[in-house]
Amino acid sequence: MKIENSVALVTGANRGIGLAFAQGLLARGARKVYAAARHPSTISLAGVEPIRLDVTNPEEVAAAAEKAFDVTLLVNNAGVGHFGGFLAADAEDAARRMLETNFYGMLRMSRAFAPVLQRNGGGALLNVLSIVSWVNGGELAAYAASKSAAWSLTNSLRFELAAQGTQVTALHMAFVDTDLVRHVDAPKTSAADVVARALDGVAAGVAEVLADDRTRDVKRSLSALDAGYLPLRAA
């Protein structure tokens, strides 16, 4: 799909990867970029059209689909994260909160905008996932589970939307240099680099974008006996 002259909507566009997506789309010549956030007043990027959107609110999702009727590229980026394992005291509440945004929010948006994309020639759907779609070490247990569910959703949508000509691309990456992991001492990729690789993938029509070396290593390991999602065995 061509990015130039497209009409895009980015969820969670007020900061982090979402802001980088809005910037990247404008730089590549998108005709219009809807920058969606729970509070549109937090959108400060020039050249975008702010839109109120909480992906956990069905009424706001429906209103966004009605307002942004010209969208040809939907970037499902909105997400929440929380450190902690499944044995933590707040694990159930954390899991529900993250599934509500990271899975059900993506599902709501995809369902609401599928007819919009169809009317506008098919277009594309880009779902922002993570390396933790495949790896769950317990530090981000509920977040990882929600991204695994979103990966499965994305894989299903790829088949379900094929008949209407909608391209579905999944974006996987390890740590990105954003507020979510600012206290994590680990290699991080810049949000701008992740977005550039993602948009290159959309333009090339690929099904999955693996945005960094760590993600590519884990994906390759999934069929191995010592798969990346398993604990390291003692020597």
pTM score of the predicted model: 0.93
Q: Is 143 a catalytic residue?
A: yes
**Is the pLDDT assigned to residue 129 strictly greater than 50?**
yes
pLDDT in tens, 198-233: 999 999 999 999 999 999 999 999 988 888 787 755
Domain boundaries, the chain: 7-221
* Domain spanning 7-221: CATH superfamily: NAD(P)-binding Rossmann-like Domain (3.40.50.720)
| H helix runs in 72-205, sequence order | 91-98, 106-119, 141-160, 191-204
Q: Quick one: pLDDT at residue 225? A: 80
Q: By percentage, how much of the chain surpasses pLDDT 70? A: 95
Give CA–CA dist 150/105, Å, rounded: 10
List the catalytic residue out of 34, 104, 143, 229.
Answer: 143
